Structure 1
């Protein structure tokens, strides 16, 4: 696995994004909506750094299942329970890829009479976009990192419900998911190996690249 963003880099970028959001939504009723399940770690860290009163909920859509590519259809399986009418909605995503999930949510929240609809995504894959980004009047788009066209895991993102708890974001080597190999090193093992190797090459399917 090649590390794209270290835990330190993620922490600093989340702080920067939270500071901008705090400034731009000051004095406005803000509803922060996380896209389950991949965004839960990012959302938790972001929420702790946004210095504003907010209401919080989650929405769940399904488009991947246990595959590594989207099915092309995003289905809402759990909608928000809070009343977002008149609120400035900030949707928190782990990754914006083809834009299918996001366009589904834009349409869904467009029926809820929100004041504005903005998106804060940890990762963005503009090279994969097939649905244009259209947020409507007053909508803002916050991006943590631009992501290469690779299958990434860690920091909440998974492959077949694994790798979510890795403290960094990394590229999963193709032989792992093509052979459905599900052996995962624990965070403790990863951290220990990383410290001993100085974030150089690790043994097995994991490797670390300085960026």
Structure 2
């Protein structure tokens, strides 16, 4: 797919994202107030979302990053999840919030949550910018969701196509010009 020759249809505008982040930040802050919160951001797709989200939290928070791989340069998950870079810190006294850009098949999030549970944290929950439930291959429901979206290929705001377009400040759907 030559993305530059397609139509970019805005799905979540900058304003929509900003407003939803304020709501999520308040909700997460209220839940984790007086608890030790450790945010684990799944690189690379979630770095934009995570940075904006944690700035909306009004509680102390530790942040670290895990790198997983399941997509390569394609538009669909390969179905095989690998942890490329793991959390090295002791997580036993923490409530973990895994942050990712999107949950579609659910394979990556389920794998990461199960992996982090082996580190004996107090709890493990997840937060995603986008939830695409029509694509689910495993039973998992994100605890915090920015937007539930239809089964379309989305790019922008951290989500890439061929390692590009992560810097676009909104989420867009790529469609054919004649649609």
Tell me the TM-score normalized by structure 1.
Answer: 0.78
Cα distance in 2 for partners of 1:48, 1:106 equals 23
Extract unaligned runs of 5+ from structure 1: 135-139, 176-204
Say whether 1:27 aligns with 2:30. no
- 1:1-211 aligned at under 5 Å gives the runs 1-133=8-140, 141-173=143-175
Tell me how far 1:85 sits from its aligned partner. 1.4
Higher RCO (CA-CA < 8 Å; seq separation 6+): 2
Shift, 1:107, TM fit: 1.3
What is the CA–CA distance in structure 2 between the aligned matches of 1:49 and 1:43, rounded to whole Å?
10
Distance in 1 of aligned mates of 2:62 and 2:15:
28
How far apart, CA to CA, are the structure 2 residues paired with 1:172 and 1:77?
Answer: 29
Show CA shifts across 1:119-142 (max 9, x none).
1100001111010017xxxxx700
Structure 1 moving runs of 4+ over 2 Å: none
| Pairs aligned (count) | 171
Q: CA deviation at 1:159?
A: 0.5
Bigger fraction of residues in strand: 2
SS in 2 for 1:16: helix
Q: What is the CA–CA distance in structure 1 between the aligned matches of 2:57 and 2:169, rounded to whole Å?
A: 21
Deviations 1:83-122 (A, max 9, x none): 2112000011100010100111111011000000011100
1:57, 1:81 within 8 Å by CA — same for their partners in 2?
Answer: no
Q: CA RMSD in A?
A: 1.5
Q: Which has the larger radius of gyration?
A: 1
Determine the C-alpha separation between the residues in 1 that align with 2:92 and 2:161: 35
Aligned equivalents of 2:89, 2:158: Cα separation in 1: 24
Distance (Å, rounded) in 1 between the aligned partners of 2:89 and 2:157? 26
Relative to the length of structure 2, the TM-score reads: 0.92
Instruction: Identify the range of structure 1 (36-45 vs 76-85) with the bigger mean alpha-carbon deviation.
Output: 76-85
Measure how far apart 1:81 and its partner are.
2.6
User: In 2, distance between residues paired with 1:106 and 1:93?
Assistant: 12
